[in-house]
C-alpha cells in the first residue's frame, strides 16, 4: 500500500486550509507549513510537520502534527497534533556572564604570575 520510494509531492507547501471542519458557528482549520516523510516502507507511512490551527474566536496556534498509516490485513490510520512551540533559547543573565568573566580573568592573572615567578 505504501510502496517506497515516496510518490508524494510536497513542493506546494505551505498548504493553506489543508482541512476545514465547520460545526455550527465554529470553524476549525489547519494550515500546513511543512511536511516530512519520517518513515515509509511497504506497510507503514509516517508523515510529520508543522502548521497553524485556526478556531473561530480563538488565537491562531502554531504546532506540530503527525500522521501515520499502516496496513496488515486491515488498514489503520492515526492523526495527532500538539502545540509544539519551541521554547526560546536561554540567554545568560549579565551577572552570570560577569561572574564567569571575572573567574577567567583571575585564572589568567594567576597563570601569568606563576610564569613570572611572582607570588603573593
- Domain locations in the chain? 15-82, 90-120
Q: What is the pLDDT of residue 9?
A: 54
CA pair distance 21, 30, nearest whole angstrom: 9
5 pLDDT tier (thresholds 50, 70, 90): very low
Contacts of residue 60, defined as CB under 8 A and 6 or more positions apart, other chains included, come to: 52, 53, 54
pLDDT one-digit tens code per residue, 45-73: 888 888 888 999 998 888 888 888 887 67
Reported pTM: 0.51
- Is it true that the peptide bond before 99 is cis, omega within 30 degrees of 0? no
Amino acid at each position: 500500500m505504501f510502496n517506497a520510494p515516496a510518490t508524494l509531492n510536497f513542493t506546494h507547501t505551505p498548504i493553506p486550509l489543508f482541512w476545514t471542519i465547520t460545526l455550527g458557528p465554529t470553524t476549525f482549520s489547519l494550515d500546513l507549513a511543512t511536511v516530512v516523510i519520517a518513515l515509509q516502507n511497504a506497510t507503514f507511512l509516517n508523515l510529520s510537520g508543522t502548521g497553524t490551527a485556526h478556531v473561530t474566536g480563538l488565537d491562531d496556534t502554531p504546532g506540530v502534527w503527525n500522521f501515520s498509516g499502516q496496513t496488515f490485513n486491515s488498514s489503520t490510520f492515526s492523526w495527532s497534533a500538539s502545540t509544539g512551540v519551541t521554547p526560546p533559547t536561554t540567554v545568560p543573565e549579565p551577572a552570570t556572564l560577569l561572574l564567569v568573566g571575572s573567574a577567567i580573568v583571575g585564572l589568567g592573572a594567576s597563570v601569568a604570575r606563576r610564569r613570572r615567578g611572582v607570588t603573593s
